[in-house]
Amino acid sequence: MKQRYVSWFVGFVLILSLSVSVTAATRTFTTYYSCLPGTVTAVVLTNASAYDAEQAFTLTLYDAEGTLLQVITRGLDSYQSIVLFLNDFVEEANEFSWGSLNIEANLLLQAGLWLGTEAAWVSVINLQAQSLSTEGLDVVYYCHGSNFANTENRRTGIGVINPGDDTIAGTVYVYDASGELQNYSDFALSPHRSAYFKPETVFPIDKELWGLIDIRANAPIVVVSEYYDAEGRLLDVDVIDSVYFLQVQQEEEGGNS
């Protein structure tokens, strides 16, 4: 795994998804953003309830090194909307100006992301809240999967983000189309830190490798899959906000674990 460099993101189109865990009082949203040079990200937040709130939400922004950039708290009147341009909160954009975006809301919050370049907006995403309960489960690994291509005409980059307050450990497995394991790499991410893996740094392009990248971590993560053409132009971005499998600790017969 390695840190992302700025040249991969100039002029990008970002398609975001959102993961959210819900408690009785607070909704915590975790997603991904990028404010690298040449890119723009804005967040639209709406109070979808009939009640005013002096502290409707708190938005927390971390860079790829896990450094806290901003903590922003705002109030919202009933059905009021505001927009926050995240680039305004990044003092000097560099290769680490991307990573974890967390939003905690004390009301029925609707959120949308406006994404593009300095010249034009290129994508608007209305975020849908999702929840995954692991209550009562002794989870060993959270498993995320992504298709990849490392061929003459297509390239792939994988970002992994630790949105939490504890260090996360995991492993990235690379399988080809026949199901053969080609490579694997262990990783550890400090709280709120992000890392990047590009298959073409490991495998030659002429090998025409494609298949599955399987990422298993011991705590929830955010996975970002980026797809490029042969010239390095970004074609698509997929933010993977849910696991395909939870590996849990199994009790042996007799009650021993």
Task: Specify whether 164 is located in the same domain as 241.
Answer: yes
Choose among 121, 163, 176, 151: nearest CA to 227.
151
Degrees to nearest 5, angle at CA 59 with 52 and 217: 130
Q: Is residue 119 a part of any domain in this protein? A: yes
The per-residue pLDDT for 127 is 62
The per-residue pLDDT for 120 is 66
pTM reported for the whole predicted model: 0.75
23 pLDDT band (50/70/90 cuts)? very low
pLDDT in tens, 145-170: 888 898 888 899 999 999 999 999 99
Going from the C-alpha of 60 to that of each of 100, 104, 233, the distances in angstroms are 8, 8, 30
Choose among 169, 167, 140, 171: nearest CA to 158.
171
Going from the C-alpha of 92 to that of each of 89, 199, 241, 253, the distances in angstroms are 9, 29, 29, 58
The per-residue pLDDT for 15 is 39
Domain count, the chain: 2
Dihedrals phi, psi of 166, to nearest 5 degrees: -120, 155
Task: Specify whether 110 is located in the same domain as 170.
Answer: no
**Cβ within 8 Å of residue 37, ≥6 positions away:** 6, 10, 93, 94, 97
Task: Specify whether 83 is located in the same domain as 36.
Answer: yes
Q: Is residue 46 a part of any domain in this protein? A: yes
Range of the domain at 75: 6-127
pLDDT in tens, 116-139: 778 767 666 666 555 556 767 788
